[in-house]
A = this chain, B = another copy of it.
Amino acid sequence: MSPENSVGLVTPQRVRFDTPLTLKSGAVLPGFELAYESYGTLNADRSNAVLVCHALAGSHHVAGFYADDRENIGWWDNLVGPGKPLDTHRFFVIGVNNLGGCYGSTGPLSIKPETGKRYGADFPLVTVEDWVAAQARLADHLGIDTWAAVLGGSLGGMQALEWSLQFPDRIRHAMVIASAPKLSAQNIAFNEVARQAIISDPDFHGGHYAEHGVLPTRGLRLARMVGHITYLSDSQMAEKFGRQLRHGEHKFSYDVDFEIESYLRYQGNKFAAFFDANTYLMMTKALDYFDPAYAYAGHLPSALARAKARFFVASFSTDWRFAPARSREIVFALLQNGLRVVYAEIDCDAGHDSFLLDDQHYHALLRAYLENIAV
């Protein structure tokens, strides 16, 4: 990474909110903290702020690196920086760890004031709506009345869409990438397998593993493995791994035979070593529950009628988790409301994870769209 196109050293910040937050479930959080990072400078008009929302396993660390951990580069660093498509010369970019996360915001790993112990399974389920409500408090704190744009991929895209519905006057552009207006039965089914893997791990202890001094890493590992399959495309897996053998021959055992097995085990182990199981469970539920049309008898155009933002919607040809057809549902509903929307279906072999890559056409589109946002 050269100094010209990196935001460079960044320092995460935390802010505490002491006004109670009533969650969609009815539970009330008496107060909470959010971890966030910012890149670029808020202009005098406060008109150049962009919120980047993270997906299932993401965090507030969107770009740059840390002084004490220079290898820990932000998850969307290829997009955000000086001269990059989301140009920090022009925009003031915020990354935030969602409420319930495990990277510093208040969540299951936090100490519950009443007990002096970690919340664990006692942390209430939070939803996409709750995340946006919490992010709005952060915007208030930062003096940002209106976001120039809110953007995100996958679950992050759902937050961008929700911003346009919950705070139609506080968002000028909603950028919804590799997302869907709600999960399909198959999407929920994969999430349920992941949850059951965690919950049925004997080390889960009903979510109170911290008190038992153990971690449900077996379950978390399986959850990540099955999730990972759905992030990649069949064709990309075929190209990257195919039927390549790890040891040049069939082992006739349950050790690794094929490279794809090795890859999945590695991804599962890596993830299980640091991610919090309760947060993972909650994130999958937030995905399952998101359904703005639910209150409108399933009619998405009615649900989106209150949006005022302009929209950028993008999908990827080989994404079978949130296939292009799911993005088109959003586009059609927006158009039925006479809203302005740019829609791109991008040919990219990398499946759902394409939104994280710097595919040339994809980034050119993002750059062109973002350049046209007035600040």
Name A's B-contacting residues (CB within 8 A): 24-27, 124-125, 182-186, 188-190, 192-193, 195-197, 199-202, 218, 221-222, 225-226, 229, 232, 234, 237-238, 240-243, 250, 252-254, 257-258, 260-261, 264-265, 268, 281, 285, 288-289, 291, 320
Q: B226 near A192 (CB under 8 angstroms)?
A: no
Q: Could you list 14 examples of A-B contacts with CB < 8 Å?
A: A27-B252, A184-B237, A185-B240, A185-B242, A186-B229, A186-B234, A186-B238, A192-B261, A196-B222, A196-B264, A196-B265, A257-B288, A258-B288, A320-B320
- From B125, B238, B264, contact of A193 by CB (8 A): B264
Q: B288 near A192 (CB under 8 angstroms)?
A: no
Q: B281 near A125 (CB under 8 angstroms)?
A: no
A272 to chain B, nearest CB (A): 11
Q: Which residue of B lies closest to A225 (CB)?
A: B193
Q: B254 near A281 (CB under 8 angstroms)?
A: yes
- From B125, B185, B195, B289, contact of A260 by CB (8 A): B185
Q: Which residue of B lies closest to A222 (CB)?
A: B197
Q: Which residue of B lies closest to A257 (CB)?
A: B288
Complex CA gap A27/B265 in Å reads: 28
Q: A185 near B241 (CB under 8 angstroms)?
A: yes
A122 to chain B, nearest CB (A): 12
Q: A243 near B188 (CB under 8 angstroms)?
A: yes
Q: Which residue of B lies closest to A124 (CB)?
A: B252
Point out the residues of chain B lying under 8 angstroms from A196, CB to CB: 221-222, 225, 264-265, 268
Given contacts A186-B232, A188-B258, A196-B264, 8 further A-B contacts (CB under 8 A): A124-B252, A183-B243, A189-B225, A192-B261, A193-B225, A196-B268, A200-B218, A250-B289
A197 to chain B, nearest CB (A): 5
Q: Which residue of B lies closest to A259 (CB)?
A: B185
A335 to chain B, nearest CB (A): 23
Point out the residues of chain B lying under 8 angstroms from A254, CB to CB: 195, 199, 281, 285
Q: A226 near B193 (CB under 8 angstroms)?
A: yes
Complex CA gap A197/B193 in Å reads: 11
Q: Which residue of B lies closest to A260 (CB)?
A: B185
Q: Which residue of B lies closest to A284 (CB)?
A: B254
Point out the residues of chain B lying under 8 angstroms from A27, CB to CB: 252
Complex CA gap A27/B250 in Å reads: 13
Point out the residues of chain B lying under 8 angstroms from A124, CB to CB: 252
Q: B193 near A222 (CB under 8 angstroms)?
A: yes
Complex CA gap A193/B189 in Å reads: 15
Q: Which residue of B lies closest to A323 (CB)?
A: B234
Point out the residues of chain B lying under 8 angstroms from A192, CB to CB: 225, 258, 260-261, 264-265
